[in-house]
A and B are shown apart, each in its own frame.
Chain A
Amino acid sequence: MKTERVWTERLLFLLVIAITLIFLFPFIWMLLASFKTQAQILSNQSIFVFQPTGENYATVFRDYNYTRFIFNSLLVAFLSTLFGLVLGLPASYAIAKYKQNGLAFSILIARVIPGISFMIPWYIIFSKIGLVDTYLSLILAHMLVGLPFIIWVMISFYENLPHELEESARVDGCTIQGAFFRILLPLSVPGIVTASILAFIFSWNNFMFALVLSGEKTKTLPIAVYSFLSYSNINWGALMAAAVVITLPILVITLILQRYVVSGITVGAVKG
């Protein structure tokens, strides 16, 4: 009976490893291919044993100027997250405090409706006022992805925060806004970290908005990697190297801050 149990456990463990490996495989494949020459990728040799080359990464940074795109992506993701927090933190606090569920709902609508349904007006208006291919238009567009999410995460964070601290500050003569900035904001750091990482990742990953609104000057990484396809012969190795350059930072951030990522993704979905 006991040995049978041990064997089931071992079998289950093997199953867990197998499933994880299958799900990680595209990443492993991407990483391996990024160190292969075009000939090695096109040949039918072993997937795992080969003479690695760094040439693809040199191509990506030297010939395709990826430092520039990394800068663009970082700037847009950072600023859209920051401005999203500036708008979203007070709003989510007030929504939680005064239980304005209707309002919360209408802001969360932004999370639901398809982005493409307001792309045409954006494009028309932004080209009229000369904002196409500027950082401002991209930051505004990406805020729209980040803000509803920030508000969503922070409402449930403020709802779960004990009221005592805020109340004692109020007794000491602090105004509501004073209590918010001096007491609550410092306490909100875990919630802010959760909201910011995911808002940052959403912006970093966003493709559709930049496809329409960015140009030569402001091209972000997803657009840059996509433009590899426009060459008649796809340079697979360089394409995989570019994919690694985009994906790796996100994967590393997620692994380091996994606790926050998990709570950001599960918030609202589990009824507490």
Chain B
Amino acid sequence: MARWVERNIKYIFILPSVLFVAVMIVFPIGYTAYISLFEWSMSSTQAPKWVSFGNYAKLLQDARFWSALGRTFYFTLISIIVELMLGVIIAVLFNRKLKGINLFKTLFLLPMVATPVSIGLVWLLIFEPTIGVANRFIGMFGLKPQMWIASPSQVIPSLALVDIWEWTPMITLIALAGLTSIPQDNYEAAQIDGASSWQMFWKITLPLLLPTVFSAALLRIIDAVKTYDIIYAMTQGGPGYASETLNILGFSLGFQYFQLGYASSLLMLFFFLVLGISSLIIILRKRIEVLQ
């Protein structure tokens, strides 16, 4: 018995996890694909109606879908660009041997582990136009009070600000780990050649840090596209539809309007979008590694 187990250990150890993932993910996604071919509102009186690719055709003509797609990219783009720049700058700053720096690095971890929903609600109070601290803060610089998430044009940047607060620390953390793995003799050699610290940053630190930052960016892009908690907690996609991203739209179609077939077609497109972005970035990363 023990021998038989040993001979097949590879399968015995892995099978439970694979089965679990298959039952919980692969089968449901297949099911979503199947439902997406029906018109179905989960009512007991009306049976699902076969519409073939009708839902997809309808989706591609739905202005609400296209706006949600655009907003998803807009939100992701602002968040990622700011997070990458800010994250790397702070990492370089934190990488100096200053007294007590470890305490600051530890405190810096907190935004990314805090419960997003509760943090979203704290930011709701911060952004509150009349009593919130955000308007008081910009008031100190002589700026006029803003509407923040209550304004259709400011809501996405405001939500991105919360995302930036939450996730810049992750970029910093990963960049810090990357910085410590850069061999010191690079800098010593450059110093002997009389390079300034500015030159060393551009010629040594940044190029050697790039693969690490790239991995961090990959993880962040995938998560930013899927951002749900803070948006749902703070605006539920409002005001109007001004902050409705694909995730939020899919959720409302499915669980508020119960248009299960239509929602499923959107979720399938969203699924392929995320998968596409991930593979694209992985390929790009391989290219960069080859170049180096």
Contacts and interface: CB of A to CB of B under 8 A. Distances in A.
Interface string B228-256: 11001100000000000001001100110
Contact of B106 (A175, A211, A246, A258): A258
Contacts of B121: 225-226, 228-229, 239, 243
B122 interface: yes
B197 to A, nearest CB: 10
Contacts of A255: 106, 110
Contact of B119 (A9, A103, A141, A243): A243
Nearest to B107: A20
Contacts of B117: 205, 207, 222, 225-226, 246
Contacts of B198: none
Nearest to A198: B113
A240 B24 contact: no
Interface in A150-170: 151
B290 to A, nearest CB: 14
Contact of A15 (B16, B93, B123, B133): B93
Nearest to A95: B14
The majority secondary structure among interface residues of chain A is helix
Interface of B is mostly: helix
B25 A110 contact: yes
A260 to B, nearest CB: 11
Given A12-B96, A23-B108, A243-B118, A120 B32 contact: yes
A270 B177 CA distance: 7
A105 to B, nearest CB: 10
A98 interface: yes
Interface in B91-139: 93-94, 96, 98-99, 101, 104, 106-119, 121-123, 125-126, 131, 133, 136
Contact of A110 (B9, B21, B104): B21
B20 interface: yes
A33 B24 CA distance: 41
Interface string A123-166: 11100000000000000110110011001000000000000000
Q: Sorted from nearest, which 10 A-B pairs have the closest CB atoms?
A: A118-B28, A90-B13, A243-B118, A94-B13, A121-B28, A121-B31, A91-B17, A117-B271, A222-B117, A269-B215
Interface of A: 9, 12-13, 15-17, 19-20, 23-24, 26-27, 29-30, 33, 41-42, 44, 47, 87-88, 90-91, 93-95, 98, 100, 103, 106-107, 109-110, 112-125, 140-141, 143-144, 147-148, 151, 175-178, 180, 201, 204-205, 207-208, 211-212, 221-222, 225-226, 228-229, 236, 239-240, 242-243, 246-247, 250-251, 254-255, 258, 261-262, 265-266, 268-272
24 contacts: A27-B110, A27-B114, A100-B14, A114-B267, A117-B268, A118-B32, A120-B264, A140-B24, A144-B25, A148-B21, A175-B6, A177-B6, A177-B9, A178-B2, A180-B13, A205-B113, A226-B121, A247-B114, A258-B109, A265-B109, A269-B177, A270-B178, A270-B215, A271-B211
Interface of B: 2-3, 5-6, 9-10, 12-14, 16-18, 20-21, 24-25, 27-29, 31-32, 35, 42, 90, 93-94, 96, 98-99, 101, 104, 106-119, 121-123, 125-126, 131, 133, 136, 165, 168-170, 173-174, 177-178, 181, 211-212, 215-216, 219, 222, 225-226, 228-229, 232-233, 247, 250-251, 254-255, 260, 263-264, 267-268, 270-271, 274-275, 278
Given A125-B31, A176-B6, A246-B115, 16 more contacts: A13-B99, A26-B111, A29-B125, A41-B125, A91-B18, A117-B250, A121-B29, A147-B21, A178-B2, A201-B113, A205-B115, A229-B121, A251-B114, A255-B106, A262-B109, A272-B181
